[in-house]
Amino acid sequence: MGRRKVEIKRIENKSSRQVTFSKRRKGLIEKARQLSILCESSIAVVAVSGLYDSASGDNMSKIIDRYEIHHADELKALDLAEKIRNYLPHKELLEIVQSKLEESNVDNVSVDSLISMEEQLETALSVIRAKKTELMMEDMKSLQKREKLLIEENQILASQVGKKTFLVIEGDRGMSRENGSGNKVPETLSLLK
Amino acid sequence: MGRRKVEIKRIENKSSRQVTFSKRRKGLIEKARQLSILCESSIAVVAVSGLYDSASGDNMSKIIDRYEIHHADELKALDLAEKIRNYLPHKELLEIVQSKLEESNVDNVSVDSLISMEEQLETALSVIRAKKTELMMEDMKSLQKREKLLIEENQILASQVGKKTFLVIEGDRGMSRENGSGNKVPETLSLLK
DNA sequence: CAGGCTATTTATAATGT
DNA sequence: TACATTATAAATAGCCT
């Protein structure tokens, strides 16, 4: 529907991608709205763009903040700050089209359809949660791997200077609870201090 | 996009509505899929059509079954069976487009975007839940109202025949737990038995 | 009713401002 | 960088089978 036909594949150029996202999102929402009115249905559209731009350092802190990482005792991460920079924030949006939900009267609205929607959203939620956990676990593993390598390297260096190796970890589970909002990434870990 | 322009308002004719729902639903899903690929985003579309056809009597029983009604002690309903028939089932559907969620690697997928999506679905859920509760409350109120009228009427009749009025309620909270699946609506209440 | 078929309307890609 | 324009692709309303 434009000057030329476009292939459906990832748009590499970042700004074009952003522009297309805005335009098509608008279209999608409008279509959902129309459908909900025309066919008296309840439609939810949840779109999260995966635009990984403009990193802010304490994003990961917030994530850890909000979600207790149950493998925290395995999280003996080196250079958490660098890792954090790999987590890029995103643009997000939520649109819920619920035209029908407003005009209901007791006898002809199906409570059951709302219950279905609830259940379906629950299903969507569990998919999202499962994927989130999986990705976080992957991150944990890669952190552990890097840590292990660095510890080894460190031990070699330490033996060369005839000193004992200390690994000092601050925070861990509770570290970003207090200073997680708006500040720079705290120095969470010091090696060989 | 058709032979003529259509106004965006409820389609009264049931079968046209159904046809339009199918066609436009398909279009909506396709749009969502394209957007998710083009812009590397995660999109969930949840559509519940509000087609209130083909009533089955124990629908309400199932609802009550699944959801504890905390106002059950107010639920001194008369003729629950009739009420149940006002709850009509529906067609439902769920489509989750998650093309991006599949091809992630640790460093360039935003865990945070998944968390956002989770949070947004939670938001959508609470809207749905709130509406569900509201509708159920409305139903409870109307049941109570009808009950009150009937009790009054009943008392008048009773006094006319010089008898005392008994209101016997069976089940209540737990009533449909055991026999809620596939059976006819149980006689839950007897008046003046 | 489900599945094609076009005449049209609508969405939007590229471009202009 | 964001917003308006417009040529073109895509969606779909009404028909038809």
Instruction: Please identify among residues 70-89 of chain A the ones whose CB lies closer than 8 Å to any CB of chain B.
Output: 86-89
Nearest 5°: phi and psi at A191? -110, 130
pLDDT recorded at residue B193: 25
Please check whether residue A16 touches B, CB under 8 A: no
A9 touches strand C (CB under 7 A): no
Amino acid letter, A185: V
- Strand D footprint, Cβ within 7 Å: A 1-6, 15, 18, 31; B 1-4, 6, 16, 20, 23-24, 26-28, 30-31
**pLDDT-based confidence at residue A47 (cuts at 50, 70, 90):** low
In this complex, the residue of B32, B42, B142 whose CB is nearest that of residue A50 is B42
pLDDT recorded at residue A33: 82
Mean pLDDT of A162-181: 36
pLDDT recorded at residue B112: 54
* Total length of chain A: 193
Residues 23-42 of A with CB within 7 A of strand C: 23-24, 26-28, 30-31
In this complex, the residue of B37, B48, B112 whose CB is nearest that of residue A90 is B112
Residue nearest to nucleotide D1 (CA to C1'): A15
Task: Give yes or no for a contact between B169 and B144, defined as CB atoms under 8 angstroms apart.
Answer: no
Mean pLDDT of chain A: 52
In this complex, the residue of B11, B20, B111 whose CB is nearest that of residue A136 is B111
Per-residue pLDDT of chain B (193 residues; tens, 9 = 90+): 899 999 988 888 988 988 998 899 889 888 888 887 888 776 667 665 543 332 333 333 333 333 333 223 222 222 222 232 232 222 222 333 333 333 333 333 445 555 555 555 565 555 555 555 555 555 555 555 555 666 666 666 666 555 444 443 333 333 333 333 323 222 222 222 2
Highest mean pLDDT among A65-69, A118-122, B60-64: A118-122
Mean pLDDT of A178-192: 28
pLDDT recorded at residue B149: 66
Asked whether residue A36 carries a pLDDT value surpassing 50, the answer given is yes
Nearest Cα neighbor of B189 from B157, B166, B161 is: B166
pLDDT recorded at residue A37: 82
pLDDT recorded at residue A32: 83
pLDDT recorded at residue B32: 83
**Mutant choice from B87, B104, B121 vs A, greatest count of A C-beta within 10 A:** B121
Cβ of A89 within 8 Å of Cβ of B112? The answer is yes
Mean pLDDT of A178-193: 28
pLDDT, tens digit (0-9, with 9 covering 90-100), for A127-163: 555 555 555 555 555 555 555 666 666 666 666 555 4
User: How far away is chain B from the Cα of A140, in angstroms, using its nearest Cα?
Assistant: 10
Please check whether residue B55 touches A, CB under 8 A: no
Please check whether residue B127 touches A, CB under 8 A: yes
CA distances from B22 to A70, B91, B92 (A): 45, 11, 12
Nearest Cα neighbor of A26 from B46, B35, B129, B131 is: B35
pTM, 2 dp: 0.49
Percent of chain A whose predicted confidence (pLDDT) is above 70:
21
Please check whether residue A8 touches B, CB under 8 A: yes
Alpha-helix runs per DSSP H in chain A: 14-38, 59-66, 80-86, 99-102, 111-160
